[in-house]
């Protein structure tokens, strides 16, 4: 089944609600008007009826209690437009005024009953195509017997007026609804236009071209918000796509180099018969390059896990002081190999941390290895641990070459290396700091770096301590 469009639903709903309100309103005003008109007619009939009834009563009395009294009315009544009918207490017609040319219906039992209850009874009838209001009045001046006077007044003009009002009302309601329907459609089209525009732009987006954006010119506030949000979403998707493209091309590049070395070395050594040492050398190179590739792949797997499946990483509470003391010992070994002096300030009081020891070890060793790698022999590295409220602050400073202000924001990017060719001799492919940053974020911590070219660098790691 095809879904109804919002445009259709909104306008139909709008028109329906307005229609119900207008019809209801017209119904009540119509009823009010007709009540008021009939009330005034009835009031006048009652006045006339009461007056006439008294005259007839007097006549009846003077003629010795005769019930079948003649309807002896003055000419002003007889020549007027109304008809008068006289019934006895049983509801039988006794007589009616002269010149009355219509055949009015007899008095019904239920009408008689109502009269006995309330003296007056008014209702409408149609006779020979004309509308009449019949007003009956019960006079019981003669004890239980009594008589009924009925005035039949033609009300064609009143009925016509009321009917005309109904037609005019119905017509005006239809007209209003039609106009509202058309205006509603225009309004909805105006409101939904930008949404359709967003959809149109969305259709033109593909992985190859993500440059399209929704125009935000002349949009209402809410639509501008929608369009801006959509554009922002596109921008971040585009950025992610760029990132993924760059990332895969970097991975390809990093894996291609060791593979090319393995292939080249193997081809050359197989060209002719060689000495055993030659084969050994090539196998050593191949092993080194294979280890390098395994390292890269492991790093990538770790990054993916930290980014997309952090819930699978195990965490436990442990004493950070004991943990960092072991790191310091390993750092000492690395530094002493390169004749770099290393000092450390580590407090004795235990600090509990909730985290993954293996990954935190990786975080600190990545920073320390960088410090050792970039600091020349004779330089120095300083480690310091400071508990600060709910966090523990660990700083690693070196007297290396420092990092330029331009490079500072980029060193945590994946595959960023200041000098790719030089660094091939050492370890790392520019993933070390980005892994360190992801590990810090996984532990709800952060890494800051302060550095000046020629003055060394200080990396500071902030980690939240476990609440006891
Ligand atoms: N202590 C440091 N002193 C100077 N430069 C550094 C230091 N640590 C990191 N860098 C710069 O940041 C870059 C990225 O570091 P990293 O992500 O560990 O990659 P890698 O060690 O593989 O080069 C390094 O190539 C280097 O240019
Ligand atoms: Mg590194």
Residue 167 has pLDDT above 90, yes or no: yes
Whose structure tokens read 């792949």?
297
Q: Say what angle helices 432-442 and 276-308 make with each other, to 10 degrees.
A: 30
Task: Please tell me whether residues 350 and 439 are part of one structural domain.
Answer: yes
185 lies in some domain: no
At 73, is the pLDDT very low, low, confident or very high (cuts 50, 70, 90)? low
> Does residue 202 lie in a domain region?
no
Any domain includes 182: no
Q: Per-residue pLDDT for 449 more than 90?
A: yes
3-class DSSP string for the chain: CCCCCHHHHHHHHHHHHHHHHHHHHHHHHHHHHHHHHHHHHHHHHHHHHHHHHHHHHHHHHHCCCCCCCCCCCCHHHHCCCCEEEEEECCCCEEEECCCCCCCCCCCCHHHHHHHHHHCEEEEEEEECCEEEEEEEEEECCCCCCCEEEEEEEECHHHHHHHHHHHHHHHHHHHHHHHHHHHHHHHHHHHHHHHHHHHHHHHHHCCCCCCCCCCCCCCCCHHHHHHHHHHHHHHHHHHHHHHHHHHHHHHHHHHHHHHHHHHHHHHHHHHCCCCCHHHHHHHHHHHHHHHHHHHHHHHHHHHHHHHHHCHHHCCCEEEEHHHHHHHHHHHHHHHHHHCCCEEEEECCCCCCEEEECHHHHHHHHHHHHHHHHHHCCCCCEEEEEEEEECCEEEEEEEECCCCCCCCCHHHCCCCCCCCCHHHHCCCCCCCCHHHHHHHHHHHCCCEEEEEECCCCCEEEEEEEECCCC
Strands 93-96 and 120-127: unpaired
Distance CA 50, CA 222 (A): 71
User: What local confidence, expressed as pLDDT, does residue 60 receive?
Assistant: 55
Domain boundary among 254, 275, 308: 308
Per-residue pLDDT at 2 exceeds 80: no
Nearest to 41 by CA among 86, 76, 98, 81: 81
- Once rounded to an integer, what is the mean pLDDT over residues 400-427? 80
Q: Could you tell me the residue range of the domain that residue 81 belongs to?
A: 6-165
Residues 137, 49 contacting (CB under 8 angstroms):
yes
Is the distance from CB of 95 to CB of 104 less than 8 angstroms?
no
Are residue 413 and residue 288 in the same domain, yes or no?
no
Residue whose Cα lies nearest atom 24 of ligand 1: it is 417
pLDDT per residue as tens digits for the range 183-222: 988 888 888 887 888 888 888 877 778 888 888 887 788 8
CB 432 near ligand 1, within 6 Å: yes
Q: Which atom of ligand 1 is nearest to the CA of 423?
A: 23
Question: Model confidence at 224, in pLDDT bands (50, 70, 90)?
Answer: confident
pLDDT at 144 over 80: no
Strand partners, 448: 460
- Rounded-to-integer distance, Cα 96 and Cα 29, Å: 37
Name the pLDDT band for 468 (thresholds 50, 70, 90): low
Q: Which residues contact 433 (CB under 8 A, 6 or more apart)?
A: 366, 367, 370, 411, 412, 416, 447
Task: Give yes or no: residues 302 and 321 share one domain.
Answer: no
Q: Which of 64-73, 188-197, 240-249 has the lowest mean pLDDT?
A: 64-73
Burial category of 425 from C-beta neighbours within 10 Å (exposed 0-12, middle 13-18, buried 19 and up): exposed
330 and 460 assigned to the same domain = yes
- Reported as a single tens digit per residue, the pLDDT across 265-301 is 999 999 999 999 999 999 999 999 999 999 899 989 9
Residues 408 and 438 in one domain: yes
**Is 203 part of any domain?**
no
Q: Is 456 in the pocket of ligand 1 (CB under 6 A)?
A: no
Pair 275, 354 in one domain = no
Report the b/e string of 287-310 with b at 16+ CB within 10 A: eebeebeeebeebbebbebbeeee
Residues 83 and 18 in one domain: yes
- In the predicted structure, residue 251 carries a pLDDT above the cut 50: yes
Asked if 245 and 382 sit in the same domain, the reply is no
Q: How far is the CA of 417 from the centre of ligand 1 (A)?
A: 6
For residue 342, the CA-to-ligand 2 centroid distance in Å is 18
Is the CB–ligand 1 distance for residue 399 below 6 Å?
no
Q: Are residues 284 and 325 in the same domain?
A: no
The answer to whether position 189 is within a domain reads no
Domain boundary among the residues 293, 308, 323 is at 308
pLDDT exceeds 80 at position 135: yes
Asked if residue 450 has its Cβ within 6 Å of ligand 1, the reply is no
**318 and 437 both lie in a single domain:** yes
Q: Using an 8 Å Cβ cutoff, are 147 and 127 in contact?
A: no
138 or 94, which is more confident: 138
CATH classification of the domain holding 229: 1.10.287.130
Q: How many whole angstroms separate alpha carbon 188 and alpha carbon 224?
A: 16
Residue 391 beta carbon below 6 angstroms from any ligand 1 atom: no
Considering the domain architecture, whether residues 277 and 318 belong to the same structural domain is answered as: no
Tell me: pLDDT of 244 over 50: yes
pLDDT at residue 427, as a whole number: 65
Q: Report whether residue 38 contacts ligand 1, using a CB cutoff of 6 Å.
A: no
Q: Which of 250, 274, 308 is a domain's end point?
A: 308
The span from the first CA to the last CA of the chain, in angstroms, equals 60
Contact 457 CB / ligand 1 (< 6 Å): yes
Condensed to tens digits (0 to 9), the pLDDT of residues 333-386 reads 999 999 999 999 999 999 999 999 999 999 999 999 999 999 999 999 999 999
Into how many domains does the chain fold?
3
> 78: pLDDT confidence band, cut at 50, 70 and 90?
low
Looking up residue 338, the CATH number of its domain turns out to be 3.30.565.10
Q: How many residues in total does the chain contain?
A: 468
Say if 331 falls within a structural domain. yes
List CB contacts of 243: < 8 A, sequence separation 6 or more.
none
Q: What is the CATH number of the domain that holds 31?
A: 3.30.450.20
Pocket test for ligand 1, best of 404, 430, 453, 459 (most atoms within 8 A of CB): 430
Count of alpha carbons within 13 angstroms of residue 176, beta-carbon side: 17
Closest ligand (CA of 436): 1
- Asked if residue 210 belongs to a domain, the reply is no
287 domain-assigned: yes
**Contact, 239 vs 246, CB < 8 A?**
no
Q: What is the pLDDT of residue 69?
A: 47
- Residues 320 and 298 reside in one and the same domain: no
Burial call 327-366: b when 16+ CB within 10 Å, e when fewer: bbeebbebbeeeebebebebeeeebebebbeebbbbbbbb
Which two tokens mark 64?
């010795």
Proportion of the chain above pLDDT 90, given as a percent:
58
Cα(454)–Cα(448) distance, integer angstroms: 19
Mean pLDDT of the chain, nearest integer: 88
């Amino acid at each position: 089944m095809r879904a109804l469009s919002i445009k259709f639903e909104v306008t139909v709903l709008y028109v329906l609600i307005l229609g119900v309100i207008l019809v209801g309103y017209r119904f009540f005003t119509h009823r009010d008007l007709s009540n008021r008109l009939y009330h005034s007619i009835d009031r006048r009939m009652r006045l006339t009826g009461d007056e006439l009834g008294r005259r007839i009563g007097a006549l009846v009395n003077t003629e010795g209690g005769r019930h079948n009294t003649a309807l002896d009315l003055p000419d002003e009544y007889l020549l007027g437009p109304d008809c008068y009918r006289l019934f006895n207490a049983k509801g039988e017609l006794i007589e009616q005024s002269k010149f009355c040319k219509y055949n009015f219906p007899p008095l019904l039992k239920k009408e008689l009953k109502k009269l006995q209850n309330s003296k007056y009874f008014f209702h409408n009838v149609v006779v020979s195509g004309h509308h009449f209001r019949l007003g009956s009045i019960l006079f019981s001046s003669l004890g239980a017997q009594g008589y009924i006077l009925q005035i039949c007044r033609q009300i064609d003009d009143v009925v016509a007026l009321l009917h005309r009002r109904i037609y005019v009302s119905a017509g005006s309601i239809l007209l209003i609804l039609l106009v509202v329907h058309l205006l509603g459609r225009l309004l909805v089209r105006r409101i939904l236009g930008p949404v359709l525009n967003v959809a149109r732009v969305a259709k033109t987006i593909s992985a190859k071209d993500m440059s399209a954006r929704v125009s935000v010119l002349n949009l209402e506030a809410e639509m501008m918000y929608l369009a801006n949000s959509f554009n922002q979403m596109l921008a971040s998707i585009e950025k992610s796509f760029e990132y993924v493209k760059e990332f895969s091309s970097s991975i390809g590049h990093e894996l291609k180099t060791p593979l090319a070395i393995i292939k080249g070395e193997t081809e050359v050594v197989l060209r002719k018969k060689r000495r055993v040492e030659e084969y050994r050398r090539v196998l050593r190179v191949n092993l080194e390059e294979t280890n390098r590739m395994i390292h890269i792949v492991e790093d990538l797997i770790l990054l993916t896990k930290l980014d997309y499946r952090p819930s699978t990483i195990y965490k436990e509470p442990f004493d950070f002081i004991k943990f960092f003391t072991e790191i310091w010992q390993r750092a000492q070994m690395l530094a002493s190999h390169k004749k770099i002096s290393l000092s450390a300030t580590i407090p004795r009081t235990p600090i509990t941390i909730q985290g993954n020891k293996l990954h935190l070890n990786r975080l600190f060793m990545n920073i320390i290895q960088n410090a050792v790698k970039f600091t020349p022999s004779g330089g120095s590295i300083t480690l310091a641990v400071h508990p600060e409220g709910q966090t523990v602050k660990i700083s690693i400073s070196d007297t290396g070459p420092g990092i330029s202000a331009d490079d500072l924001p980029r060193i945590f990017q994946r595959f960023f290396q200041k000098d790719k060719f030089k660094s091939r001799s050492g370890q790392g492919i520019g993933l070390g700091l980005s892994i360190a940053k992801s590990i810090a974020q996984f532990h709800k911590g952060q890494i800051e770096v302060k550095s000046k070219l020629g003055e060394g660098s200080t990396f500071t790691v902030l980690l939240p301590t476990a609440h006891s």
